[in-house]
Copies of this chain bind each other. A is one copy, B any other.
Amino acid sequence: MPKYVYLFKEGDASMRNLLGGKGANLAEMTNIGMPVPQGFTVTTEACTRYYADGKTIAPEIEEEIYQALAATEKEYGKKFGDLENPFLVSVRSGSRASMPGMMDTILNLGLNDVAVEGMARLTNNERFAYDSYRRFIQMFSDVVMEVDKGLFHNALEDVKREKGTTQDTDLDAQDLKEVVRRYKEIYRNAKGEEFPQDPKMQLMEAIKAVFRSWDNPRAIYYRRMNDIPGDWGTAVNVQGMVFGNMGDDCGTGVAFTRNPSTGENKLYGEYLMNAQGEDVVAGIRTPHPMADMETDMPELYKQFMEYANTLEKHYRDMQDMEFTIERGKLYMLQTRNGKRTAAAAVKIAVDLVGEGMLSEEEAVLKVEPKQLETLLHPNFDTAELKKATSFATGLPASPGAGAGGLYFTAHEAAAAGKQGKDVILVREETTPEDIEGMDYAKAILTARGGMTSHAAVVARGMGRPAVVGCGALHIDEVKKTLTVNGQVFHEGDPVSVDGTTGHVYSGLIPTVEASVSGDFGRLMAWADAARTLKVRTNADTPRDTAQAVEFGAEGIGLCRTEHMFFEADRVKAMREMILSDSAEQRRAALAKILPFQQKDFEEMYKALEGRPMTVRYLDPPLHEFLPQKSMVNEIAEIASELGTTSEKIVQKIDELHEFNPMMGHRGCRLSVTYPEIAEMQTRAVLQAALKVRKETGMAVVPEIMIPLVGSKKELKYVKDIVMETAEKIFAEQGEKIDFLVGTMIEIPRACVTADEIAEEAEFFSFGTNDLTQMGFGFSRDDAGKFLDSYYTSKILESDPFARLDVDGIGKLVETAVTLGKKGRPNIKLGICGEHGGDPSTIEFCHKVGLNYVSCSPYRVPIARLAAAHAAIKEKQAK
């Protein structure tokens, strides 16, 4: 039988999967002699078992919990529910991956009508005891028993009104006893029974509540966003309470061994005297910087610094620590590798190598690829910024710049964001419920809270710019107004938020590219040395190409040629082609596009400076080049431009209408019906290549990619057109150039017949967007309507369009890889779907043996780093 409960002194840091991050670190701190309030951890396996057993805790696990409790009580010399020396505990979640704020916590557990008296006596502070008790009743009722917390709020307000005050602090012990009485009544009315007086029963219910909170909607959303599997489960840490709020020789704080925003090697944090830990994090009172502690309590500060240094060296990483001072004694409540901004992550990783704490490869692993996104994101244009006047300033909690329309609730922000609007979320302070709205926001702005408030921590984690604690803001959530010094903003009004400086501006300030530091270059060089996957980019313009090359792209993996047909000067000819009645007319129309398209390719070849370019032939259905039927004026305009009638155009729109255009007449199917399109594109690709090579002497490496292929014959049909056209061009010009012809693998049938297709294809590039669409039968444009139900019912854990579904679509990819290599052993394999920039997908690509991934220019560094992670982890696993 597995062991489901571990005393802190029984565990260590290596047991993270079983004990969760928090539990493993409490055990490790205990082992290295830190002053940790003792307790025990109920394992993640107990959580999994809880769900498997139909949301019940098996008797043998209950028994183990009671044994651990008894051992802990003995250590403290205290007893649950004791009048003399009552034992109180905190009950906290702690999963394998850090999920700050996502799950539930219960403090002061163990209080009941007897223990509260014991506590009053022991602390000689009746008010403190009853304040703790009423807080516990409210928290337990809300979190564990699901009693509406508004009822408690109202009862407290009633008592304050009766007393004639608005401040909690004006209530004395007697008032708080009355509050406790009313709270217990509320509980009795809601649950039909007395508030539980048995601390063991309290404990068991609290543990269950933490297990349950693993599956609350915000936790599910967080996991999906952070690729955390739903079957990991959470551990539960039961820890003896120490009190930072027993008087002025008590306090609590949070500190980082280095600056989590910049990476600077200097202690960074905040503390509050006479407060509980939640007060610091919740941002209700504004805390002191840690520097004040050095002046005010030099001994304690020195002691804390020793612990901090020990922990950082022990974990070989920047630590995020919680501590409490109870009557002058320092306790370490928690440590973990600290969340940090991308810039900080890079600096810390590079510094730790310099300090001899990490190897280069270990340093590479210290930076999460996804994080880089912030580093690479634009900041406000300095010139424009100089012209702007800030109307408010807060704490610069998460760096970067964001501009958009104001929204006052997370829900509305998310809704607007889903419609593609740029959104700024403004809140009094944020709560874990706001997470989806924060995710959709370009920047986050709050009126309250400090640098370690919820908004600040989450925004940094997400890479969203944030300004917090901006006290000048007066927010009316109901009227949807933001008033600052008499200036009133309404929902949707444009504002710009600079998370690097803390300034907030009205209007939309243009942004410019980020410049990356020397540390970044050093880290990326280590990453490049470690990785085996090549990284290309998806780019359709010379500008994007140049940007991607600067970011380290090793070629273009996907040049979509659609835009080359859509631009104003070409779409007319394209429409002529579509309205043609014969191949000759079509050819004549396409001939007008050829010079433009050839010019585009010439510029891109030049920007690539000898790197290869994969050109995908025309893919979208032709109806996309015509207006919608209801756009009568546009149709009339086009008709007059092309010298035809609106009727003829409408007739063609009708002809081109499809019920399921995604599975319709597009991709290589266009070239099967209109071979002249492939002819023209082949001319553009190869004539441009010959010309650039001649003009510049550069190597030019064209790779022609036929999209949406489902069978070998289909590919061969289009390839034959390409090869015949190429022969003609080479004969005309008296000169040849090497090029490849390959295909997108994006149709399930192509995966299962990839051996045959590889006989014709010199490379495969996985188009995992379409493969996901066809493989799941999920229309990307429509699936949004039901995917939310799929997340809440836990059928899906992540958006398969953002993160490759390795278990299903991944099998199709693997099949195609295996068969493709069978058909052509030296076949070149890549991926060019949106997934190409997703780190977990990149890890999969590395494992199945692709040669390269291709992603948008801004994701190139992310992909380089992710590819390095995959290679290093593989090496470490060996």
Q: Is the CB of A778 within 8 A of B672?
A: no
Q: Does A487 make an interface contact (CB < 8 A)?
A: no
Residue of B659, B793, B807, B812 touching A782 (CB-CB under 8 A): B659
Q: A665 on the interface (CB 8 Å rule)?
A: yes
Contact A673 B786 (CB under 8 A): yes
Q: A809 at interface (Cβ–Cβ under 8 A)? A: yes
Say which residue of B659, B710, B796 sits within 8 Å of A776 (CB atoms). B710
Q: Which residues of B contact A796 (CB under 8 A)?
A: 711, 713
Instruction: Report A669-684 CB contacts with B as 1/0, cut-off 8 Å.
Output: 1001100000000000
| A window 725-770: CB within 8 A of B | 746-749, 752-753, 770
Please name the residue on chain B nearest to A663 by beta carbon: B779
Cα-based distance from A779 to B659 in the complex (angstroms): 8
**A710 / chain B contacts, CB cutoff of 8 Å:** 776-777, 808
Which residues of B lie under 8 Å from residue A790 when comparing CB positions? 672, 714
A51 to chain B, nearest CB (A): 14
Q: A436-463, CB under 8 A of B: which get 1 and which 0?
A: 0000000000000000000000000000
- Asked if A785 is at the interface of the complex by the 8 Å CB criterion, the answer is yes
Which chain B residues border A662 with CB–CB below 8 Å? 659-660, 663, 777, 779
Contact A659-B781, Cβ < 8 Å, known A713-B795, A775-B749: yes
Among A660, A665, A708, chain B packs the most CB atoms within 10 A around the CB of A660
Q: What are the residues of chain B within 8 A of A658 when measuring CB–CB?
A: 779, 781-782, 785
Q: With an 8 A cutoff between CB atoms, is A226 at the interface?
A: no
In the bound complex, CA of A268 to CA of B1 (Å): 86
Query: A664 an interface residue at 8 Å Cβ cutoff?
Result: yes
Q: Determine how close the nearest CB of chain B comes to the CB of A748; give it in whole angstroms.
A: 4
* B interface footprint on A366-382 (CB within 8 Å = 1, 0 otherwise): 00000000000000000
CB distance from A54 to the nearest CB of B (A): 12
Complex alpha-carbon distance, A710 and B659, angstroms? 22
When distances are taken between beta carbons in the complex, the residues of chain B under 8 Å from A748 are: 748, 774-775, 777, 812
Q: Say whether B659 contacts A753, CB under 8 Å.
A: no
- CB neighbours (8 Å) of A818 from chain B are none
Chain B residue numbers with a CB within 8 Å of A660 are 660-663, 779, 781-782
A interface residue count range (under 10 / 10 to 19 / 20 to 34 / 35 or more) = 35 or more
A500 close to chain B: CB less than 8 A: no
The residue from B774, B782, B786 contacting A777, defined by CB atoms under 8 A apart: B774
Contact indicator B664/A779 (Cβ below 8 Å): yes
Min CB distance A267 to B, Å, is: 46
Is A773 among interface residues, defined by CB-CB distance under 8 A? yes
Q: Tell me whether A717 and B793 are in contact (CB under 8 A).
A: yes
A153 at interface by CB-CB < 8 Å: no
B664-A785 in contact (CB<8A): yes
Q: Is the CB of A664 within 8 A of B749?
A: no
A796 to B749 CA separation, bound complex (whole angstroms): 13
A316 interfacial contact with B, CB 8 Å: no
Q: Which of B669, B789, B795 contacts A786 (CB under 8 A)?
A: B669
The answer, among B714, B746, B752, B809, for a CB contact under 8 Å with A812, is B752
Residues of B contacting A747 in the complex (Cβ-Cβ under 8 angstroms): 775-777
Q: Which residues of B contact A770 (CB under 8 A)?
A: 777
- A749 / chain B contacts, CB cutoff of 8 Å: 775-777, 805, 808-809, 812
> Does chain B have a CB within 8 A of A55?
no
A811 within 8 A of partner (CB):
yes
List of B residues within 8 angstroms of A673 by Cβ:
786, 789
Residues of B within 8 A of A793 (CB): 672, 717
CA distance A747 to B795 in the complex (A): 16
Complex interface: chain B residues within 8 A of A795 (CB):
672, 711, 713-714, 717
Answer yes or no: A337 CB below 8 A from chain B CBs: no
A665 touches B753 (CB 8 A): no
| Interface assignment of A815: CB less than 8 Å from any CB of chain B | yes
Would you call A794 an interface residue if the criterion is a C-beta within 8 Å of the partner chain's C-beta atoms? yes
- Write out, one digit per residue, whether chain A residues 218-257 have a CB within 8 A of any chain B CB (1) or not (0): 0000000000000000000000000000000000000000
Q: What is the CB-to-nearest-CB distance from A768 to chain B, in angstroms, rounded to a whole number? A: 13
Q: Could you tell me the distance between the alpha carbons of A770 and B664 in the complex, rounded to whole angstroms? A: 14
A777 to B711, CA, bound (A): 12
A797: shortest Cβ distance to chain B, in Å?
9
Of A659, A782, A811, most buried by chain B (CB within 10 Å of CB) is A782
* A527 CB to nearest chain B CB (Å): 33
Assembly CA distance A789 to B718 (angstroms): 12
CB distance from A540 to the nearest CB of B (A): 23
Contact of A665 among B661, B663, B782, B805 (CB under 8 A): B782
Nearest B residue to A670 by beta-carbon distance?
B786
Q: A659-B779, A777-B774, A795-B717 are in contact. Are A665 and B752 (CB under 8 A)?
A: no
For chain A residues 673-719, which have a beta carbon within 8 Å of chain B? 673, 708, 710-711, 713-714, 717
| Pick from B664, B774, B794: contact of A775, CB under 8 Å | B774
Which residues of A from 648 to 665 have beta carbons under 8 Å from B? Answer: 658-665
Least Cβ–Cβ distance between A31 and chain B, in angstroms: 40
Cβ-closest chain B residue relative to A815 = B752
Minimum CB–CB distance for A620 against chain B, Å: 13
Q: Which residue, of A749, A773, A811, has the highest number of chain B Cβ atoms within 10 A?
A: A749
Q: How far is the CA of A809 from the CA of B805 in the complex (A)?
A: 21
Least CB distance from A774 to B in Å reads 5
Closest to A714 in B: B795
323-342 of chain A: CB within 8 A of chain B: none
Tell which of B663, B752, B794 touches A778, judged by Cβ atoms closer than 8 Å: B663
**Known contacts A774-B774, A812-B752, A661 near B659 by CB under 8 Å:** yes
Are A786 and B752 in contact, with the CB atoms below 8 A? no
Interface string of A564-604 (1 = CB under 8 A from B): 00000000000000000000000000000000000000000
User: Which residue from B711, B789, B809 sits with its C-beta under 8 Å from A672?
Assistant: B789
CB proximity of A791 to chain B, nearest CB, Å: 11
* Complex contacts, A708 vs chain B, CB 8 Å: 777
Task: Report the Cα distance A249→B789, complex, angstroms.
Answer: 86
Q: B672 touching A811 by the CB < 8 A rule?
A: no
A805 to B747, CA, bound (A): 14
B815 x A777 contact (CB < 8 A): no
Tell whether, in the assembled complex, residue B785 and residue A665 are in contact, meaning their CB atoms are under 8 Å apart: yes
Chain B residues, CB < 8 A from A815: 752
Contacts of A789 in B (CB 8 A): 669, 672-673
A781 to B660, CA, bound (A): 8
Cα–Cα, bound, A42→B534 (Å): 55
The residue of chain B having its C-beta at the shortest distance from the C-beta of A715 within the complex is: B795
Query: Do B794 and A713 touch (CB < 8 A)?
Result: yes
Bound CA span A773–B665, Å: 13
Q: How far is A786 from B673 in the complex, measured between Cα atoms in Å?
A: 7
A789 nearest CB neighbor, chain B only: B673
| CA A714 to CA B805, docked complex, whole Å | 14
- From B669, B746, B782, B794, A664 is in contact (CB under 8 Å) with B782
**A659 partner residues in chain B, CB cutoff 8 A:** 661-662, 779, 781-782
User: Which residue of chain B has the shortest Cβ distance to A664 in the bound complex?
Assistant: B782
Instruction: Give the residues in chain B near A714, CB-CB below 8 Å.
Output: 790, 795
Instruction: Please give, as numbers and ranges, the residues of chain B lying within 8 Å of A812 by CB-CB distance.
Output: 748-749, 752
Compute how far the CA of A781 lies from the CA of B664 in the bound complex, rounded to whole angstroms. 9
Nearest-Cβ distance from residue A746 to partner chain B, whole angstroms: 8
**Bound complex: CA A752 to CA B790 (Å):** 20
* Chain B residue nearest in CB terms to A621: B782
Q: How far is the CA of A786 from the CA of B658 in the complex (A)?
A: 12
3 closest A-B pairs by beta carbon, nearest first, are A660-B779, A663-B779, A748-B748
Given contacts A660-B662, A713-B796, 10 further A-B contacts (CB under 8 A): A659-B661, A661-B782, A663-B774, A663-B782, A664-B782, A669-B786, A672-B789, A672-B793, A752-B811, A753-B807
Residue pairs across A and B with Cβ atoms less than 8 A apart, 21 shown, are A658-B781, A660-B663, A660-B779, A662-B663, A663-B777, A663-B779, A663-B783, A664-B782, A672-B795, A708-B777, A711-B807, A713-B795, A713-B796, A714-B790, A714-B795, A717-B795, A749-B776, A749-B805, A753-B807, A753-B811, A770-B777
| Residues on A facing B (Cβ under 8 Å) | 658-665, 669, 672-673, 708, 710-711, 713-714, 717, 746-749, 752-753, 770, 773-779, 781-783, 785-786, 789-790, 793-796, 805, 807-809, 811-812, 815
